[in-house]
Amino acid sequence: MNFQLSEEHLMIQQAARDFAQQELLPGVIERDDAQKFPAEQIKKMGELGFLGMMVDSKYNGSGMDTLSYVLAMEELSKVDASASVVMSVNNSLVCWGLETFGTEEQKEKYLKPLASGEKIGAFCLSEPEAGSDATSQRTTAVDKGDHYLLNGTKNWITNGNSASIYLVIAQTDVDKGHKGINALIVEKGMDGFVVGKKEDKLGIRGSDTHSLMFTDVKVPKENRIGEDGFGFKFAMKTLSGGRIGIASQALGIAAGAYELALKYAQERKAFGKEIIQHQAIAFKLAEMHTEIEAARMLVYKAAWEKDNKINYDLSGAMAKLKASEVAMKTTVEAVQIHGGYGYVKEYHVERLMRDAKITQIYEGTSEIQKIVISRAIANK
Ligand code: CAA
């Protein structure tokens, strides 16, 4: 067993760290405040290959492994989780799904511009009345021979307005339950497709989260991913990898808050000494450090399993469950260590605390992860 990162992995980590400091840090507070999508930063991330990290180079991707992706996600999320969620959805949910299950034509037409960052993708599963209970899809895709007629509403869609290509999950045959669900590629601009209201969120405020409305949208048959009825399995398989991406985002948020808290504790004085010299603060930092390292091991192991073609449903769910809990606890403690400074925007930790919360909710809540984990261990 080798816990050391390779030279190549260290280089990717350093490149992401530099990018985060040089390109994401300036203006991150203002973007959060104004709910401004980091458009220029995302464009640069595309140019550097961060938006199609695991995609084969023949489809404009960077051809890297999952561990590289996780390392980059971790570094970017330390600074700007609004930018890293765009990267996570584009890589894990959209590019991976298309590359793994799409036809050659779909890859040529849709994967290539997504992997290069020329276009951004969105993954559309959640609905007003189907969040955790993902099989209860109300959006319908009625089979009309050479096309599907798509009707319904999707909610809380990351990249809702900034995307151009949407993977939409919809019910074709209600009688077949989850086996009657399809995944369709929908393009912005198709007649009857309207981007709805933007959500005013607690955290990741720079990312754009929207509802989407579909009214008699004609989606060509060739835009279906996989066989008829494969849509729910497509969503589940895609989300299994997505959870590794969000776990690495949570890990980055936690590590970013910890690094800020450590630095502050080494500089800030109280009662005649640096506050890290007070056991009350030192013990908090010791616990944060240990918990982050534990989460990191789970996240890297899940990535390693994916890279080694080992089933990662369980490890991905455990990584997300643990890393998101660690992100929440660590960011709350980082605010506490900063005292009054922690409660104001300038010191970054309050934003990280707000950003951390979503990692316990999207791509499967912590409770859903426990369902996945408990079913997996029960069946072992
Ligand atoms: N891989 C392949 N197939 C899977 C699977 C997986 N990981 N998980 C489930 N399935 C299959 C099952 O085998 C079953 O198929 P069969 O009947 O052929 O055996 C089918 O899917 C249905 O599975 P279940 O009976 O287990 O379904 P369920 O109703 O009990 O739900 C669940 C299972 C795990 C709770 C699922 O509903 C779930 O994951 N819910 C959470 C949804 C979610 O994560 N939403 C996030 C929205 S996307 C988002 O947040 C993106 C963003 O913008 C950031």
pLDDT value of residue 254: 99
- Using CA atoms, how far apart are residues 2 and 18, in angstroms rounded to an integer? 26
pLDDT value of residue 96: 98
Nearest residue (CA) to ligand 1, atom 48: 363
φ, ψ dihedrals at 285, nearest 5°: -65, -40
pLDDT value of residue 1: 84
Query: How close is the Cα of 239 to the center of ligand 1, in Å?
Result: 8
By C-alpha distance, which of 329, 360, 79, 166 is closest to 246?
360
The helix/strand/coil state of 143 is: strand
- With beta carbons less than 8 A apart as the criterion, state whether 306 and 369 touch: no
State the residue for tokens 């449903």.
313
- Using CA atoms, how far apart are residues 218 and 190, in angstroms rounded to an integer? 8
φ, ψ dihedrals at 138, nearest 5°: -100, -20
Nearest residue (CA) to ligand 1, atom 51: 363
The pTM of the full predicted model, rounded to 2 decimals, is 0.97
By C-alpha distance, which of 335, 332, 325 is closest to 359?
325
Read off the pLDDT of residues 354-368 as tens digits, 9 standing for 90 and up.
999 999 999 999 999
Number of DSSP helices (H) and strands (E) in the chain, helices first = 13, 9
Query: How close is the Cα of 134 to the center of ligand 1, in Å?
Result: 7
- CB neighbour list of residue 161: distance below 8 Å, 6 or more residues apart: 37, 195, 198, 208, 210
361 lines ligand 1 (CB under 6 A): no
Nearest residue (CA) to ligand 1, atom 29: 135
Residue 216 neighbours by CB distance under 10 Å: 11
Find the DSSP H helices in the chain.
7-19, 28-34, 39-47, 66-79, 81-88, 96-101, 104-106, 112-116, 231-267, 279-307, 313-338, 349-358, 366-378
Confidence grade of residue 379 (pLDDT, cut at 50, 70, 90): confident
Report which ligand 1 atom has the smallest distance to the Cα of 133.
37
DSSP code of residue 13: H
By C-alpha distance, which of 8, 2, 3 is closest to 65?
8
φ, ψ dihedrals at 15, nearest 5°: -60, -40
- pLDDT of 56 > 80? The answer is yes
Read off the pLDDT of residues 180-217 as tens digits, 9 standing for 90 and up.
999 999 999 999 999 999 999 999 999 999 999 999 99
255 lines ligand 1 (CB under 6 A): no
363 lines ligand 1 (CB under 6 A): yes
- From 158, 233, 371, give the residue whose CB has the most ligand 1 atoms within 8 Å, as the site to mutate: 233
Query: How close is the Cα of 178 to the center of ligand 1, in Å?
Result: 9
By C-alpha distance, which of 284, 366, 264, 257 is closest to 317?
366
The helix/strand/coil state of 224 is: strand
Confidence grade of residue 306 (pLDDT, cut at 50, 70, 90): very high
Nearest residue (CA) to ligand 1, atom 49: 363
- With beta carbons less than 8 A apart as the criterion, state whether 303 and 91 touch: no
- pLDDT of 289 > 80? The answer is yes
Q: What is the mean pLDDT of the chain?
A: 97
367 lines ligand 1 (CB under 6 A): no
By C-alpha distance, which of 241, 292, 249 is closest to 71?
249
- CB neighbour list of residue 279: distance below 8 Å, 6 or more residues apart: none
Confidence grade of residue 291 (pLDDT, cut at 50, 70, 90): very high
Report which ligand 1 atom has the smallest distance to the Cα of 246.
54
Residue 248 exposed, middle or buried by CB count within 10 Å (0-12, 13-18, 19+): buried
CA terminus-to-terminus distance, the chain: 24
**Which of these is catalytic: 227, 293, 363, 367?**
363
Task: Determine what percent of the chain is predicted with pLDDT higher than 90.
Answer: 97
Report which ligand 1 atom has the smallest distance to the Cα of 362.
50
126 lines ligand 1 (CB under 6 A): yes
94 lines ligand 1 (CB under 6 A): no
- Using CA atoms, how far apart are residues 159 and 204, in angstroms rounded to an integer? 12
Furthest C-alpha separation in the chain: 78
325 lines ligand 1 (CB under 6 A): no
Read off the pLDDT of residues 84-142 as tens digits, 9 standing for 90 and up.
999 999 999 999 999 999 999 999 999 999 999 999 999 999 999 888 998 888 999 99
CA atoms within 13 A on the CB side of 95: 34
374 lines ligand 1 (CB under 6 A): no
Query: How close is the Cα of 170 to the center of ligand 1, in Å?
Result: 14
pLDDT value of residue 295: 98
Tell me the average pLDDT across 60-65: 98
pLDDT value of residue 189: 96
Tell me the average pLDDT across 159-186: 97
φ, ψ dihedrals at 334, nearest 5°: -65, -40
134 lines ligand 1 (CB under 6 A): yes
- CB neighbour list of residue 26: distance below 8 Å, 6 or more residues apart: none
- Using CA atoms, how far apart are residues 74 and 12, in angstroms rounded to an integer? 11
Read off the pLDDT of residues 222-275 as tens digits, 9 standing for 90 and up.
999 999 999 999 999 999 999 999 999 999 999 999 999 999 999 999 999 999
Confidence grade of residue 380 (pLDDT, cut at 50, 70, 90): confident
Known active-site residue 293: no
Tell me the average pLDDT across 324-341: 98
347 lines ligand 1 (CB under 6 A): no
